[in-house]
Amino acid sequence: YFEGQAKRYDRSLAVMQDKGADPKERISAIRFLRNYNNHRQVPSLLTILKDQGDETEVRVVLAEALGWFRWSVQKETIVQALKEVGKNRATPQELRDEIEQSLVRLRF
- pLDDT at residue 1 greater than cutoff 80: no
pLDDT of the residue at 3: 85
> Is the pLDDT higher at 51 or at 8?
51
When pLDDT is cut at 50, 70 and 90, the band that residue 85 belongs to is very high
Position 14: which residue type? A
Instruction: Report whether 85 contacts 50 (CB < 8 A).
Output: yes
Percent of the chain with pLDDT over 70: 98
When pLDDT is cut at 50, 70 and 90, the band that residue 108 belongs to is low
Query: Rounded to the nearest 5°, which phi and psi values hold at 61?
Result: -65, -35
Domain span holding position 53? 2-105
Number of domains in the chain: 1
Q: Does the reported pTM lie above 0.85?
A: yes
